[in-house]
Amino acid sequence: MKDTFKRKVYLDASATTPVDKEVLDYILPYFSLKFGNPSSLHSLGREAKSALEEAREKVANFLGCSFSEVFFTSSATESNNLVLKKVLKLFNFKPHYLVSAIEHSSVLNPAKKLAQEGKIDLDLIKVSKDGILDLEDLKAKLKENTVLVSVSYVNSEIGTIQPLKEIAQIIREHREKQGTRYPFFHVDAVQAVNFLDCKVSNFLADFLVISAHKIYGPKGASALFKREDIKLDSWLEGGEQEFGLRSSTENIPAILGLAKALELVEKYKGKALEIKRLRDKLLQGILAEIGGVEVVGSLEKRIPNNLGVIFKGVEAEILILALDKEGIMISSGSACTTREIKPSETLLALGKSKREALSFIRFSLPRFIKEEDIDYVFNILPKVVKSLKER
């Protein structure tokens, strides 16, 4: 059945982004003409190997690390799981992990499972009502056996930016006090790449994860930064690809797409101010036209394209479907959990009630957003919210 609405407005860029045309044009030949396996010795294989090494160098330059510290996986979820499940193998005692209470599920869920299995001790670091990590709580929960601290640079649901430099300083002081190399600092930077400096030296990260499909690259590629002095066991056994950490024939088109997308991040960073202006226009319109609205998270310490609000008295799932009929695509939070009608752990950690959490909506603006898109949302959103409240 053909859609009949006037306009399509995509406001779910934190879930995924379309592949940029420059990225698509760059990677298309590697699906067909340049299809070689980089492990093959013939010319097609060497061509693929050369492209892979060039992509690794581009990622290393973006992150400010060495070529041999970049590893490619299939997704940020895989990269995060790799770190959490392999770090514990480095120690002959029961390790303790510290994870922020509003981590992405690809960190929080494996950490909880490892704790349930008795493989680690786990504590969650509290956050403020605005979603900023409580540094005093972090200090208080560091132990002698704390080997890993995991924090997302930017929360995927409410867009808040964490004080990574301050967190790194606390970790460094704890190391010095103990005379150890650990705890290691693991940063999920997936939501940060489009807007923030992700040089690992800025906050002394030991592990850092980014993803292609959040930055206008293809799905199927993630880059994991791992400091060279940390030696992890193989994650996948096989042909010794990725310096022996992750055996598997590399997904060359997706990896090249990730590297190309990183180049374009620099090109489009100047659009941040315009995106923020349109985000703020959207917020002002919502507050002016709709009653019973609560903004979630800090507006000052937030990436410019994110807006999270609670529409009191309206179920998020119903609102999403109603707006989708009008061509407006939004989210109720993390896309990884939207198929389950349960409150977001992030919202609950911020002190919101279950009812409030189930009324939370995330607007995340893509870089191709236009003024007319926001105007169209204004024409539709207040009427839809009003009709749902009157049910």
Tens digit of pLDDT for each residue in 356-367?
A: 999 999 999 999
pLDDT at 333 over 70: no
* Catalytic annotation, residues: 336
Tokens of 224: 């994991």
Tens-digit pLDDT profile for residues 149-166: 999 999 999 999 999 999
Give me the residues paired with residue 31 across strands: none
The pLDDT score that the predictor gives to residue 390 is 78
Q: Is the pLDDT at 337 greater than 70, yes or no? A: no
Which CATH architecture group holds 21-267? 3-Layer(aba) Sandwich (3.40)
The dihedrals phi and psi of 133, each to the nearest 5 degrees, come to -55, 135
The residue-averaged pLDDT of 313-318 equals: 95
Domain range annotation of the chain: 9-19+270-389, 21-267
Give the residues across from 297 on adjacent strands: none
243-262 in b/e form (b: 16+ CB < 10 A) is eebbeeebbbbbbbbbbbbb
- pLDDT(1) > 50: no
Q: Which residues of 21-55 are buried (b: 16+ CB within 10 A; e: fewer)?
A: eebbebbeebeeebebebeeeeeeeebbbebbeeb
Give the pLDDT confidence of 40-60 residue by residue, as tens digits. 999 999 999 999 999 999 999
Burial class (CB in 10 A: 0-12, 13-18, 19+), 134: middle
- Beta strand spans in 248-304 (E): 293-295
Kindly state the tokens that stand for 176. Answer: 């010095």
Instruction: Check residue 230 and give its pLDDT.
Output: 98
Q: What is the CATH number of domain 9-19+270-389?
A: 3.90.1150.10
